[in-house]
Structure 1
């Protein structure tokens, strides 16, 4: 902490079998939450970034310890995936979004609560939410993405949307 500026920087470290790694990037102002896969080979860092905003970082275990598994935050990749889909064309496009990505509970038991039989430690489920600043006579914030879900495959590094999310995802996007 810089006492003159009253700035806080959070650093996150992980130790495993003789290795000690910092999970970059450092973060201003906010602590984070962490979730491991059941086999302890992957970590998801759930990082608050602002008022109502949150991102996700993914780390994988290597012989050198835990390292970033993606070049960009996992949340940015999930948003890019949503924006590449046909349904995104229908969503209100305002200049400013306040976005959040959340890891859906269930990594430890492979999302069995959803009634699925997916391979152990293979997938992460991500929920996306976003509010847009609507300009006009009465400026306001409105939800345009409300819990849209996708699945990330840890083996292939690709996103998809399982059929069990189709119905709820259709309701999660507010047309513009």
Structure 2
């Protein structure tokens, strides 16, 4: 596992101009109730919005970088030690960022985004390396993190794994096909070792994901 630099702590929180959103759906709390995730927005001179995410733990506030153009969704592991950020980046596009408790505050757990690592794993496999995706590039965290994915019928250790779903579309495809690409190809990330694998239970679904298309 690659640990990033120490978190940036602040006693006062976001800089001037950033206002806490009043959308309750954009506020998140860790399972142990000790950490709250707050999202702040600021309107730019071009009437666009910039968003910052801050973790509040007691009197300490930590900015969860990077700053983005959209709000995000979050999921904790059940031990409240790991946090995944599901960050929209455009129409049908999403990245994932992973944070871990360091020195009493959340910090980036990997030097690059978790989604970049997942895509690198996808493109490094013999069975998927030739697939070229052009748009709607999206990585998502499959629901079930807090329950160690018991809903999938597995008995994995608690707070050990994340299941990531990858999707995307192609510009070049047969004329009788409206959209062709990748839909819900799954892999597993080990929080302890920082490595990926594809458990056998994903094999059938992944084969179908590679053949995904919508015919006209």
TM-score, structure 2 as length reference: 0.73
1:50-73 Cα shifts (integer Å, max 9, x gaps): 001111100000114100001111
- Asked whether the equivalents of residues 12 and 22 of structure 1 are also in contact (C-alpha less than 8 Å), the reply is yes
5+ residue gaps, structure 1, are none
List gaps (5 residues or longer) in structure 2.
Answer: 1-41
Which aligned pairs between 1:148-167 and structure 2 lie closer than 5 A?
Answer: 148-167=185-204
**Per-residue CA distance 1:62-89 (angstroms, 9 max, x = gap):** 1141000011111111011010011114
CA contact (8 A) 2:43 2:50 kept: no
SS at match of 1:117: coil
Where does structure 1 differ by over 2 angstroms across 4 or more consecutive aligned residues?
A: 1-4, 140-143
CA RMSD of aligned residues (A): 2.0
Aligned to 1:124: 162
Report if aligned partners of 2:173, 2:180 keep a CA contact under 8 Å in 1.
Answer: no
The answer as to whether partners of 2:138 and 2:168 remain within 8 angstroms in 1 is: yes
Pick from 91, 116, 131: which aligns with 1:76? 116
Aligned-partner Cα distance in 2 for 1:163–1:37? 23
SS of equivalent residue, structure 1 residue 12: strand
Tell me the equivalent position of 2:128: 88
Indicate if the aligned counterparts of 2:54 and 2:64 stay in contact, CA closer than 8 A. Answer: yes
Q: 1:69 to 1:3 in 2, by over 3 A?
A: closer
The structural deviation recorded for 1:19 is 2.6
Q: Counterpart in 2 of 1:48?
A: 88
Asked whether 1:7 is paired with 2:48, we answer yes
Does structure 1 residue 114 correspond to structure 2 residue 155? no
Query: Contact 1:134 / 1:141 at 8 angstroms: preserved in 2?
Result: no
Structure 1 residue aligned with 2:184:
147
Q: How many matched pairs?
A: 170
Report the TM-score when normalising by structure 1.
0.89
Q: Secondary structure at the match of 1:133?
A: coil
CA distance in 2, matches of 1:86, 1:161: 13
- In structure 2, how many angstroms separate the alpha carbons of the residues matched to 1:19 and 1:122? 27
